[in-house]
Amino acid sequence: MSSANRRFMRLIVFFDLPTKTKQEKRAYTLFRRFLLNDGYDMLQWSVYGRVVNGMDAEEKHLQRLIANLPPAGSVRSLSITEKQFASMKMLVGKQNFQEKKLNTDQMLLF
């Protein structure tokens, strides 16, 4: 697919993991570390998101996510366009530094 046809999207991960036993806490920590090391930003507790460039990158990161799932709990993912993400409304609270509005023209990709 040419770069002109690629579309910036957000891959959002929601999870609810048990943390009662030592093993469950370790699985939670390892999963959270994986998300942070893989380029996800925390949107709020147990909700992380990252920018992906097109459907191919979305599928690649979804497979990486599946490979690093914890053994118990609930993990869900949602892919939305950058335009849909930008239309999200903050109902209570303030945007943190990572949530400052940037359009895709201002993003730096390495």
Grade residue 7 by pLDDT with cuts at 50, 70 and 90: confident
Q: Is residue 64 part of a domain?
A: yes
Grade residue 100 by pLDDT with cuts at 50, 70 and 90: low
Identify the pLDDT of residue 97: 67
Nearest to 72 by CA among 26, 20, 22, 27: 27
Residue with tokens 């209570």: 92
CATH label of the domain that carries residue 62: 3.30.70.240
pLDDT in tens, 50-72: 999 999 999 999 999 999 999 99
pLDDT in tens, 12-22: 999 999 999 99
Structural domain of residue 55, as residue ranges?
8-85
CA distances from 2 to 58, 60, 77 (A): 16, 17, 26
Nearest to 35 by CA among 55, 13, 54: 13
Indicate if the alpha-carbon torsion angle 33, 35, 41, 42 is positive or negative. Answer: negative
pLDDT in tens, 67-87: 999 999 999 999 999 899 888
Q: Is residue 40 part of a domain?
A: yes
